[in-house]
């Protein structure tokens, strides 16, 4: 089935934390929008961001520099140099379910199930956005 | 005030073991902020800021004791303005005067996030910085000042050589009521250019779309996908609709765009290029075409004729280098300094990329010996085109700042 692309504007109107369904449209998401939120650990995320939890999204960015070869996780960032990623809302932790990494310096697209929420270790938020995908587009 | 708000926001996350000893907690946070996992350094720095004088005194001592601000690392450096301590803010301003500072864009970004009215002139000086990322970050600081003054200062940046600087200034000007600047953002929605495999047009589209969403509302770009080419029926219809809306807002002020702001065309037959991005020396993009033209920068504005056979000679050296390097394509450790070669061999659909990366410190022998003849030939070829303004020296210095000096 050809995926229906919705803009982020439409995404902000969908019900929060909906379980993905076969007919769910793919929401096109921009890392720039995620980076522009006023994020502080412990502070509630904007409704439009929370509404993306569990949804199928498509997002573009770069593999973070230093991504090792042959692993099943990498950080997706907006800048190819990684110069602007000082905060935890500046990257998406991408998990690959059917392949492993092969570093690509070019801009890439990933599509998969998005999850939103703080994961903490030792009191620090180590992950805010995650995406599970089969492969890199 | 800001420190107090941060303290409230972060109070729930503070680990219990050091609650009774702020000094010990501050020392722990300083350690994490300077040498912990990169993912959490900035958070640790913000928590340190929330500790008030206990945190800032520790940071001041660290600056005095160590190697100045460079000993803080990029995360704590960027967070210095979050401390309720004007001495630390002054330290960031001072560090921007240091051309050896590898984090000047981050410093400018941090200062512009919380601009102070008395700093407008300093932000304006940054609009002329040699590093485009510094100019781009300073725009917010200028825009927060006196409206009339800001408009006057930002207008020249609409013709900046860097696309991101043009977009940021257009967005800031539109936010100040200069609706004619929306034309720059609308035009960038139409960009579909690339630089070898880097789809610069798509990046421009994404940034322009985000700026327009913030200015006009999220629904304004409903139906527009940066993933798809701008001439798909849905994208073209959205661009048409948004242009009509922007023209309405601008009225008679809707401008004729300068050439540099127009969506660039495709550069045919690019066969070899180099991307040089230095924390200290700025960026330089050079590509050579099969018909002996040198294209400087991102777009199609600066195209120079080369002697016949110049590109072929360069490509021969590059092929030799590729042969010598085998399968190795990436050298060095992650960092903001990047020297990346793009080589499109005959019959190849995509270019082959070789990249050298490093942090602020010089790395001896970062560039493999096999690449030296390529770098040397690029410096000679690009340096001789006679752009002036010490262009030849700029090319050489940028190469040397990244991969290191070339052998005599």
Among candidates B43, B78, B355 on the partner chain, residue whose Cβ is nearest the Cβ of A105: B355
* Predicted local distance difference test score (pLDDT) of residue B4: 45
Among candidates A12, A32, A127 on the partner chain, residue whose Cβ is nearest the Cβ of B218: A12
- The dihedral through the CA atoms of A113, A118, A121, A125 has a sign that is positive
* Predicted local distance difference test score (pLDDT) of residue A64: 81
Among candidates A9, A106, A126 on the partner chain, residue whose Cβ is nearest the Cβ of B198: A106
Q: What is the pLDDT along chain B (408 residues), one digit of tens a residue?
A: 444 444 444 444 444 444 578 899 999 999 999 998 888 999 999 999 999 999 999 999 999 887 688 889 889 999 999 999 999 999 999 999 998 898 999 999 999 999 999 999 999 999 999 999 999 999 999 999 999 999 999 999 999 999 999 999 999 999 999 999 999 999 999 999 989 878 889 889 989 999 999 999 988 898 888 878 999 999 999 999 999 999 999 999 999 999 999 999 888 899 999 999 988 888 899 999 999 999 998 888 889 999 999 999 999 999 999 999 988 888 888 778 899 999 998 888 788 889 898 888 889 889 999 999 999 999 999 887 777 667 888 888 889 888 888 887
* Predicted local distance difference test score (pLDDT) of residue A60: 84
Contact status of A107 with chain B (Cβ, < 8 Å): yes
Q: Does domain A5-133 have CATH number 3.20.20.20?
A: no
Cβ neighbours of A12 in B, within 8 Å:
218
Write down the ipTM of this complex: 0.71
Residue to substitute from A4, A5, A9, A92, interface B, most B β-carbons within 10 A:
A9
Instruction: Please say if the pLDDT value at position A2 is more than 60.
Output: no
* Predicted local distance difference test score (pLDDT) of residue B15: 47
- Measured between CA atoms, how close is B408 to chain A, in angstroms? 30
Quote the CA–CA distance of B210 and B136 in Å, as a whole number. Answer: 16
- Supply B329's token pair: 């394509």
Question: In this structure, how many other beta carbons lie within 10 angstroms of the beta carbon of residue A44?
Answer: 8
Asked if residue A120 lies in contact with residue B13, where contact means CB atoms within 8 angstroms, the answer is yes
* Predicted local distance difference test score (pLDDT) of residue B112: 97
Asked if residue B183 lies in contact with residue B171, where contact means CB atoms within 8 angstroms, the answer is no
- Measured between CA atoms, how close is B307 to chain A, in angstroms? 31
Per-residue pLDDT band for A105 (boundaries 50, 70, 90) equals low
Mean pLDDT of chain A, nearest integer: 78
* Predicted local distance difference test score (pLDDT) of residue B353: 87
Average pLDDT over residues A10-38: 64
* Predicted local distance difference test score (pLDDT) of residue B385: 77
Contact status of A30 with chain B (Cβ, < 8 Å): yes
Question: In this structure, how many other beta carbons lie within 10 angstroms of the beta carbon of residue A67?
Answer: 19
* Predicted local distance difference test score (pLDDT) of residue A10: 35
Tell me B13's DSSP state. Answer: T
Buried b (16+ CB within 10 A) or exposed e, B298-322: bbeeeeeebeeebbeebbebbbebb
In chain A, whose CA is at the least distance from the CA of B113? Answer: A38
Quote the CA–CA distance of B65 and A84 in Å, as a whole number. Answer: 28
* Predicted local distance difference test score (pLDDT) of residue A72: 87
Q: Which residues contact B256 (CB under 8 A, 6 or more apart)?
A: none
B43 and A88: CB-CB below 8 Å? yes
Q: Where are the domains of chain A?
A: 5-133
Cβ neighbours of A10 in B, within 8 Å:
222
* Predicted local distance difference test score (pLDDT) of residue A30: 82
B101: buried, middle or exposed (CB in 10 Å: 19+, 13-18, 0-12)? buried
* Predicted local distance difference test score (pLDDT) of residue A109: 86
- Measured between CA atoms, how close is B288 to chain A, in angstroms? 19
A30 and B226: CB-CB below 8 Å? yes
Contact status of A13 with chain B (Cβ, < 8 Å): no
* Predicted local distance difference test score (pLDDT) of residue A85: 59
Q: Which of these, B254, B260, B265, B256, lies nearest to B191 by C-alpha position?
A: B265
Quote the CA–CA distance of B260 and B211 in Å, as a whole number. Answer: 19
Quote the CA–CA distance of B77 and B59 in Å, as a whole number. Answer: 10
Average pLDDT over residues A80-88: 67
Instruction: Please say if the pLDDT value at position A18 is more than 60.
Output: no
Containing B122, the helix (H) or strand (E) segment is: helix B120-126
Contact status of A123 with chain B (Cβ, < 8 Å): yes
Contact status of A100 with chain B (Cβ, < 8 Å): no
If you count residue pairs, one on A and one on B, with CB atoms under 8 Å apart, how many are there? 115
Share of chain B residues as helix, strand and coil, in percent rounded to the nearest 5: 60, 10, 30
- Measured between CA atoms, how close is B350 to chain A, in angstroms? 11
Containing B358, the helix (H) or strand (E) segment is: strand B352-358
Checking DSSP bridges between strand B293-296 and strand B282-289, what pairing results, if any? antiparallel
- Measured between CA atoms, how close is A66 to chain B, in angstroms? 5
Quote the CA–CA distance of B302 and B309 in Å, as a whole number. Answer: 20
* Predicted local distance difference test score (pLDDT) of residue B373: 95
Q: How many helices (H) and strands (E) does chain A have?
A: 3, 7
Helix (H, G, I), strand (E, B) or coil at B286: strand
- What domains can you pick out in chain B, each with its CATH number? 1-98 (no CATH), 146-266 (no CATH), 270-402 (3.30.1560)
Instruction: Please say if the pLDDT value at position A16 is more than 90.
Output: no
């Amino acid at each position: 089935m050809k995926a229906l692309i919705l803009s982020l504007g439409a995404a902000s109107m969908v019900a929060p934390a909906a379980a993905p369904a076969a007919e769910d449209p793919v929401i096109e998401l921009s890392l720039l929008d995620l980076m522009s939120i006023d994020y502080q650990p412990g502070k509630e995320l904007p409704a439009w961001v929370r509404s993306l939890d569990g949804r199928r999204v498509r997002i573009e960015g770069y593999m973070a520099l230093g991504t090792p070869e042959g692993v099943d996780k990498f950080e997706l960032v907006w800048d190819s140099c990684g110069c602007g990623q000082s905060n935890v809302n500046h990257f998406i932790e991408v998990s690959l379910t059917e392949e492993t990494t092969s570093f690509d310096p070019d801009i890439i697209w990933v599509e998969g199930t998005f999850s939103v929420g703080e994961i903490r270790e030792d009191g620090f938020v180590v992950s805010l956005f995650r995406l599970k995908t089969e492969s890199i587009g | 005030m800001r420190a107090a708000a941060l303290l409230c926001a972060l109070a729930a996350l503070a680990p219990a073991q050091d609650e009774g000893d702020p000094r010990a907690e501050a020392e722990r946070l300083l350690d994490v902020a300077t040498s912990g996992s990169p993912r959490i350094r900035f958070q640790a720095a913000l928590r340190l800021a929330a500790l008030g004088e206990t945190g800032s005194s520790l940071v001041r001592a660290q600056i005095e004791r160590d190697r100045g601000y460079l000993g803080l690392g990029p995360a704590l450096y960027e967070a210095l303005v979050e401390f309720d301590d004007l001495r630390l803010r002054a330290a960031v301003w001072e560090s921007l005067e240091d051309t050896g500072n590898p984090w000047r864009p981050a410093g400018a970004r941090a200062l512009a996030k919380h601009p102070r009215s008395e700093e407008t002139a300093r932000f304006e000086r940054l609009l002329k910085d040699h590093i485009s990322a510094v100019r781009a970050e300073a725009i917010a600081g200028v825009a927060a000042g006196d409206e009339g003054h800001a408009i006057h200062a930002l207008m020249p940046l609409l013709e900046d050589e860097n696309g991101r600087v043009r977009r940021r200034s257009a967005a800031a000007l539109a936010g100040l009521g200069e609706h004619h600047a929306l034309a720059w953002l609308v035009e960038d929605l139409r960009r579909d250019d690339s630089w070898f495999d880097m789809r610069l047009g798509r990046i421009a589209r994404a940034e322009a779309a985000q700026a327009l969403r913030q200015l006009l509302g999220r629904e304004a770009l409903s139906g527009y996908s940066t993933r798809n080419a701008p001439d798909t029926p849905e994208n073209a219809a959205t661009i048409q609709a948004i242009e009509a809306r922007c023209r309405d807002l601008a009225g008679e002020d809707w401008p004729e765009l300068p050439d540099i702001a127009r969506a660039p065309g495709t550069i045919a037959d690019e066969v070899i290029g180099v991307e040089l991005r230095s924390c200290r020396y700025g960026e330089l993009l050079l590509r050579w075409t099969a018909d002996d033209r040198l294209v400087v920068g991102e777009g199609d504005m600066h195209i120079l004729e080369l002697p016949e056979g110049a590109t072929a000679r360069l490509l021969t050296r590059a092929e030799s280098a590729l042969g010598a390097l085998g399968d190795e394509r990436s050298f060095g450790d992650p960092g903001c300094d990047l020297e990346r070669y793009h080589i499109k061999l005959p019959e190849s659909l995509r270019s082959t990329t070789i990249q050298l990366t490093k942090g602020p410190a010089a790395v001896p022998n970062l560039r493999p010996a096999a690449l030296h003849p390529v770098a040397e030939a690029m410096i000679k070829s690009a340096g001789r085109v006679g752009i002036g303004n010490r262009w030849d020296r700029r090319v050489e210095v940028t190469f040397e700042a990244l991969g290191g000096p070339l052998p005599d």
